Amino acid sequence: MFQVAYTFSKSLTDGSDWNYLPVYSLDPKKDRGPADASRTHIMVASYVLPIPIFRNRNTLVGKLLGGWQLSGVTTFQSGRP
């Protein structure tokens, strides 16, 4: 099983910090721009891969080592960490 999700986004703000001081105090709209925490591209992949080794054995080794799965979630994103 394999699943992929992709997000394309843009985050705008007029101040990225709590102690932000405007550069253009007479026209705050001029300070608007991309946020520091903006992530334009985000791709998340999740997967479950069955491991077929020892799956159909009725021995003790087959019972202990058979039927395992490898799974995970991987994230790729642009922007600052």
pLDDT for 69 beyond 80: yes
Q: Are 54 and 32 in contact (CB under 8 A)?
A: no
Helices (H) and strands (E) in the chain, counts: 1, 5
Model confidence band, residue 53 (pLDDT cutoffs 50, 70, 90): confident
Domain range for residue 66? 2-77
Question: Which residues, 6 or more positions from 11, have their beta carbon under 8 angstroms from its beta carbon?
Answer: 34, 35, 37, 38, 39
pTM: 0.64
Average pLDDT over residues 32-55: 87
Q: What pLDDT does residue 2 have?
A: 94
How many structural domains does the chain have?
1
